[in-house]
Amino acid sequence: MDTTGRYYAACCQTDFPSPKTQAEISSRVDRMLEMIDSAVLGYEPFFPVRLVVFPEFAHTPPVYFTVEELRERLAVPIPNEHTDRYTARDARATGLMQAPTERKKFV
């Protein structure tokens, strides 16, 4: 099969328990980076996977009722150590990466 000029996408699903604090995000990033490597490397003999997609709230769903609780317990600035890890992983590949984040402002 000629894949010249083509690339493929892998859609990944997660089933993490809802975190209570920011400290739990790192373990999700660990697993999601593993899933990226599995998709990209696993399909490498067949075709180039250059887009890996995760659910919008893969890192953490908004599990608190108020904006104040979300900001205090789960919100992280962007960029951060997690986005840095995704960027470092993407630097090893030729594709582009956008980590799943909810970019809406809470008002």
pLDDT tens, residue by residue, 35-76: 999 999 999 999 988 889 999 899 999 999 999 999 999 999
List the domain boundaries for the chain.
8-91
pLDDT, greater one: 71 or 95:
71
Cβ(52)–Cβ(9) below 8 Å: yes
pTM (2 d.p.):
0.80
What's the whole-number average pLDDT of the chain?
A: 84
Structure tokens at 3: 């894949």
Do strands 8-11 and 49-53 pair parallel, antiparallel, or not at all (unpaired)?
parallel
